[in-house]
Structure 1
Amino acid sequence: MTAIRPRRSVLYMPGSNARALEKAREIAADALILDLEDAVAPDSKDMAREQVCAAVKAGGYGRRELVIRVNGVETPWFEADLAAATEAKPDAILIPKVSAPETLIEIGHKLTGLWADPAVRIWAMIETPLAILDAARIAAAAKDPSTRLACFVMGTNDLAKETRARFVPGRAPMLPWLVTAILAARAHGIDIVDGVYNDLKNEDGFAAECEQGRDLGFDGKTLIHPAQVAAANAAFAPDDHELARAKAIITAFEQPENADKGAIQLDGRMVERLHAEMARRVVALSEAIAA
């Protein structure tokens, strides 16, 4: 099984806020998106770029995954952002408003020209109607190693803006788009994290949306405030019952009498070998979180 990296909680941090970048070293998020785009005013772009890249180079973030979100490819800041981020060597660079695979191919060529560290991955924001309509082809770009594509990030606020869909409990207007993106990501072997929840005061609503995202198949959720980290971490981690069940399934199939069986009965329920594969992932995720 491919090594799993937990992405339960992916917290946006404004790149122009030096105090926030420092505080992020102590926040229990699995990943941090150090933002040069939406969270930064136009007259602060250069300062934020220098600040974020200096923070990444300085380190001190432990095992948190560090991601730099650059400005979009059509903006005047993109080229400088990409060059600086490449030099800083984060775990990944997040590209906004990816609406076609050609964007990722072009960025792959640019990274090659910049002699980017092979370990640096690309994450893609899925936040336009065209991105949803072309999600499968965008995800398929991961088959080309030069694109470095490793993860989709849902941009639900931008999707709402572009489609005029309303934010309602249960997200019924967005469910077809979310599922489309999940299917595309899974079909091509990349991770995918859910969009943000805007109402910081509605803890119950946030918890419910985390549970919905987990049940839909997301790996985690993007967050806008450190107060959301604990709930996201809890929702997207296997609980004690799920972990115990997974270990029981694995143990059952490891018994000599079940070595050649495709399906067995366990505690009165039919269990197939595909459930053993799912169980191994649950255990691996739990171990990765513990680490």
Structure 2
Amino acid sequence: MITPRRSVLYMPGSNARALDKARSLPADCLLFDLEDSVAPEEKALARDQVVAAVKQGGYAPREVIIRINALNSPWGAEDLRAAASSGADGLLLPKVDGPEGLAEVRAMLADHGAPAELTLWAMMETPMAIIRANEIAAAAASERNPLTVFVMGTNDLAKETRAALAPGRAPMLSWLSTCVLAARAYGLEIIDGVFNDFADDAGFAAECEQGRELGMDGKTLIHPRQIEPCNLAFSPSADEVERAREIIAAFDRPENAGKGAISINGRMVERLHADMARRTVALAEAIAAREPS
């Protein structure tokens, strides 16, 4: 089963109006933030507001994720305790430098009685996270609180490495690809980092296209105006879906059973392309199922 995660919108937990507005936004996922976007003096308020909003509900079919503060911060442990029973779909963990952090979080969640199906998402935002991406992904599977998603923290990576946030992101391409490979090796989804200038429509569109070409499943967003172009960028086009259905139909014909490659309209197509086509169609159908009728 495919869960669309094209648009993943950050929303500050200290902004009650934004939390309410989120119920009407067409984002696939909502990231209620207790960390970077919340001032220290508002941390407790943000935590209470987010937990209350999630318990109130009304966000379906959007996936609701709470980003907690780091466990070594003054707020992280209480964030984790409160989020454990909030009814959120998952927790986004900041500053994940290795698999040890996942084990600590799982143990704490068990102590707090969190449901086993509460998933973990990991911010990949430090040099050590990139270096140990394979180890982190390898620790994803778990009977309780599995890690299911990498989220790229490109702003923090720029800060920690002193790399430029330049158009085209040349300094970061190897890091992004490293995380894509680690994620795919262990069956994780991966979400691209934010684009900071929400008024630059052309720049945002270009970075969405780049992210999709790199293999990202979607992109984190900082403003609601980015949702619709992001959804479009990470959705299969009508032509892509039509071609995918054509490939599937061709391989499903009895005369092509067992064949590793066939010719379609003068082009050689391998069975692996049929597998890719089935995922394209499944994603398109999952997106269509979420759209208002």
> Structure 1 length as normaliser, TM-score?
0.98
Alignment RMSD (CA, Å): 0.8
Q: CA deviation at 1:136?
A: 0.3
Query: Which region of structure 1 is more displaced relative to structure 2, 113-122 or 52-61?
Result: 113-122
Alignment correspondent of 2:137: 139
Q: Tell me if the contact between 1:135 and 1:181 (Cα under 8 Å) persists in the aligned partners.
A: yes
| Local SS of the residue matching 2:70 | coil
8 Å CA contact 2:117, 2:144 repeated in 1? no
SS at 2:115 equivalent: coil
Q: How does 1:1-291 map to 2 (within 5 A)?
A: 3-291=1-289
AA of the residue aligned to 1:161: K
8 A Cα contact 1:124 1:152, kept in partner = yes
Secondary structure in 1 aligned to 2:85? helix
Point out 4+ residue stretches in structure 1 off by more than 6 angstroms. none
Deviation at residue 218 of structure 1 after TM alignment: 0.3
How far has the Cα of 1:66 moved from its partner? 0.1
**For residues 72 and 269 of structure 1, what CA distance do their matches in structure 2 show?**
52
Structure 2 counterpart of 1:212, one-letter code: Q
- Residues 26-81 of structure 1 deviation map (CA, whole Å, 9 limit, x = unaligned): 11000000000001100111110000000000001120000000001110111110
The residue identity in structure 1 corresponding to 2:61 is R
CA apart distance, 1:146: 3.5
| Range 213-222 or range 108-117, more displaced | 108-117
Unaligned runs of 5+ in 1: none
Aligned partner of residue 137 in structure 1, secondary structure = helix
User: Structure 2 vs 1, CA of residues 290 and 259 (structure 1 numbering), >3 Å: closer, same or farther?
Assistant: same
Taking the aligned partners of 1:63 and 1:119, their CA distance within structure 2 comes to 17
The CA deviation string for residues 124-166 of structure 1, in whole angstroms up to 9 with x for no partner, is 0000000000000001111333451010000000000000011
Does the 8 A contact of 1:141 with 1:147 survive in 2?
Answer: no
Asked if the contact 1:101–1:138 (Cα under 8 Å) also holds between the matched residues in 2, the reply is yes
The separation in 2 between residues aligned to 1:160 and 1:246, in whole angstroms, is: 38
Equivalents in 2 of 1:190, 1:89: separation in Å? Answer: 22
Distance 2:65 2:141 in 1: 21
CA distance in 2, matches of 1:144, 1:172: 35
Number of aligned positions between the proteins: 289
Identity over aligned pairs, percent = 61
**What secondary structure sits across from 1:88 in the alignment?**
coil
